Structure 1
């Protein structure tokens, strides 16, 4: 391609581009030809924090328990996609956080962990959804965490802190993205914001319809901008949503994806949509195997929703990937490995739900009964005592980014490991190379090894911008 013309065009489009040619593309993508067919639409799917072991175990569970291959694996088996490994490092570390990772995709530059599309000297790298919006496309994001969280924000805004979610909620309205759905009521609701601003009213003034529950998806007015905020904080884990009736008023990732596509698919200039399975990452942080597998399977159902559209449409580039690994879970060798792994099908809830229900007044027998009821695991007395010690203050409480209640996630996962043959190397992100797959017009652009920043430019190239 004509690199000079491409860079000049990108700079004019963004208005704020600070160029760094040495970081433009990692490898042979510098010389790739124009795609054979222009991608009118782009759907970018991110299973946040998905190590390769997570993908493998979700597919094993699908095969062994559900009797079928997962949708992601079927794309490989049927040779429908181009496939690559991706280096996920940030500007500040070989191990990225979600803000820097999404900024690599969104802004096309590696930035320091914790910031969104901001360079070390204050450079603002224009996010890709803003670029596509300027060309006339509709733009949207859906996620199972807060819609203002790092991954959707990295495609949409600039901020020197990923934690500025109150401000990010206002930025979205000012920029005018077409479909934004997830959790995060506390960033929009005047009763929950410290500044008492009514951000819902701001959106309504700008012509948005505000959706609050699963039923609202069915009555959304087509063609009108959508803000869907379905919970305070993140949406519930998939397995808890299935098992707890009152949580079923909140939509699944696939249902949100379906609505987002429906809202934008007939726009003459096309659309771009990010779909994030955000709680895959949170489950890995908690070493919570039932949460992890079932949210990965929920992401896999969203893949089916997207592919059903894309295969019929034939004008949509689908990108399926993750932003980084997390905790590197995997199955452990042993004579009962298959039987042990399959026992996860007996787990009725997430570890978060199970451990939240325990209180210091539990005795040993109550602890054993509760764990058997929820996981079909028979605890030994010493295991029950050990878990109870975390609630009586005798054991040091476990901390962590998504463990604000100081639940004994690690201790319980170690007990579960004896029964399910699943191990974890940590409770945090990892720097492993991850999967990336392309389907549709532009899939031929994907080389077998890429940097995360390459995806930014490959999207622009596929859309011939």
Structure 2
């Protein structure tokens, strides 16, 4: 949380003028704007059920005495709000590939596909359209830059899982800013074909950023930027709060957002960028309350950066939404239970995923109490340890689904947060907008509607 101070005196401050990045913007008011938007900032909290948005706002209110930037749009009536349906062409419950492709390509595609229809035909991704129209474009994410949600705005691929190929596909597009994790898909040491994509990107004229210092040093919009800051996804926000090494080496989503807007806004024809809080989805899949809510708050801090930019710029449409719900968490316990979240130091993933060897029940109890401030019972620790090392049921983004499901269930009595499952849901989801064009938002839309909505809002022809 302390890393928000970055924006007061650095890149975002230089770009936006004097602002206070405290979640209490002084300049977010309804403003008279031009008829169309020059820029779009499309913000995705991946896998965000409504309960996630609600609880993150409650946590901020009780811990810091402030509303989330997203909910403040509603309470102060400065933004527009709608529900959005989220199905794919193959199922009521979408995956992230089909979800992002609905926005990116304008058509529903089967789960697993990136802008590829059931008959094998392609839908042209929206960032390619905007690039051809002369705008600067890009994607920023807290997971791998080759993951389904950013890829859905960028490329066509029959399989979302081939991230090495997707990394290769990005090369010739020369999008202006692409940032996230996933170094294993660019490095010759970890790619199956041993191709050195980092060298290929450099040869093609890209500026590479491999750590936070590299990010802060970026100052030119003349060369495209590839920022890949770690292997795999970026660490959970909660796990960085007391880790100075992570803080100094890996940028936050808000930091990446501020630098990206600084770079892209230098184009007089405007820009379109997607910003994704991808770890919200990963935490929901593992029923990890701390990981979920603090990454939602990290996403909200990026939302604040976007709203501050748009309020000053007056030519930028900010779209804030999610591709689908996930696990449908909610608060069912007491205020005292919920306030335990304020003391959390680490995620469930840090507690369980970081173990190198079997602990005793007493050691596990101590580890959980250190990380999250409560002591589970001996019989609960024994139940968890019986599941430790079990690999026969792999969960999405976790290697031991039974262990994390049981931990999330035990944790419920201490935090008051319960879960409906560990998978995506078919819920209609929140959709918010701020800026020029937002007044045309209908109260209920299909996910595919946003494709043409964005093109129309910026005056770019539907192709």
User: Normalized against structure 1, the TM-score is what?
Assistant: 0.89
- Does the 8 Å contact 1:165/1:187 carry over to 2? yes
Aligned partner of 2:308 in structure 1 is: 308
Deviations 1:286-337 (A, max 9, x none): 00000000000000000111111110000011100000000000011x5xx1
CA 1:406–1:413 in structure 2 vs 1: closer, same or farther (change >3 Å)? Answer: closer
Any unmatched runs of 5+ in structure 2? Answer: 1-32
1:26-41 equivalent positions in 2, closer than 5 A: 37-41=35-39
Any runs of at least 4 consecutive aligned residues in structure 1 with deviations exceeding 3 A, and if so which?
357-361
**Residue 161, structure 1, aligned to residue 166, structure 2:** no
Deviations 1:229-267 (A, max 9, x none): 000010000011112222111000000011111111021
CA 1:390–1:197 in structure 2 vs 1: closer, same or farther (change >3 Å)? Answer: same
CA 1:398–1:67 in structure 2 vs 1: closer, same or farther (change >3 Å)? Answer: farther
1:50-449 equivalent positions in 2, closer than 5 A: 50-223=48-221, 224-248=223-247, 249-332=249-332, 334=333, 337-358=334-355, 360-391=357-388, 398-404=393-399, 408-449=403-444
Structure 1 residue 360 displacement after superposition: 5.0
Deviations 1:361-380 (A, max 9, x none): 42222122212111222221
The 3-state SS of whatever aligns with 1:227 is: strand
> Which range is displaced more, 285-294 or 372-381?
372-381
- Does the 8 Å contact 1:63/1:69 carry over to 2? yes
Aligned partner of 1:26 in structure 2 is: none
> Over the residues paired in the alignment, what is the CA RMSD in angstroms?
1.4
- Does the 8 Å contact 2:380/2:410 carry over to 1? yes
- Does the 8 Å contact 1:398/1:409 carry over to 2? no
- Does the 8 Å contact 1:397/1:408 carry over to 2? no
Structure 1 residue 225 displacement after superposition: 1.2
CA 1:360–1:266 in structure 2 vs 1: closer, same or farther (change >3 Å)? Answer: closer
CA 1:340–1:195 in structure 2 vs 1: closer, same or farther (change >3 Å)? Answer: same
Deviations 1:429-450 (A, max 9, x none): 0000100011111011110000
- Does the 8 Å contact 2:358/2:385 carry over to 1? no
Structure 1 residue 228 displacement after superposition: 0.2
Could you tell me how far apart the structure 2 residues matched to 1:320 and 1:373 are?
A: 35
> Which range is displaced more, 240-249 or 270-279?
240-249
- Does the 8 Å contact 2:389/2:400 carry over to 1? no
- Does the 8 Å contact 2:208/2:226 carry over to 1? yes
CA 1:216–1:268 in structure 2 vs 1: closer, same or farther (change >3 Å)? Answer: same
Structure 1 residue 36 displacement after superposition: 6.1
Aligned partner of 2:4 in structure 1 is: none
Could you tell me how far apart the structure 1 residues matched to 2:380 and 2:48 are?
A: 30
Structure 1 residue 384 displacement after superposition: 1.4
The 3-state SS of whatever aligns with 2:312 is: helix
Could you tell me how far apart the structure 2 residues matched to 1:214 and 1:405 are?
A: 31
Structure 1 residue 405 displacement after superposition: 5.2
Could you tell me how far apart the structure 1 residues matched to 2:56 and 2:360 are?
A: 35
Structure 1 residue 218 displacement after superposition: 1.6
- Does the 8 Å contact 2:241/2:345 carry over to 1? no
- Does the 8 Å contact 2:101/2:107 carry over to 1? yes
> Which range is displaced more, 211-220 or 46-55?
211-220
The 3-state SS of whatever aligns with 2:241 is: helix
User: Normalized against structure 2, the TM-score is what?
Assistant: 0.90
Deviations 1:266-288 (A, max 9, x none): 21111001000000000000000
Q: Max radius of gyration: which structure?
A: 1
- Does the 8 Å contact 1:47/1:299 carry over to 2? yes
> Which range is displaced more, 184-193 or 370-379?
370-379
The 3-state SS of whatever aligns with 1:408 is: helix
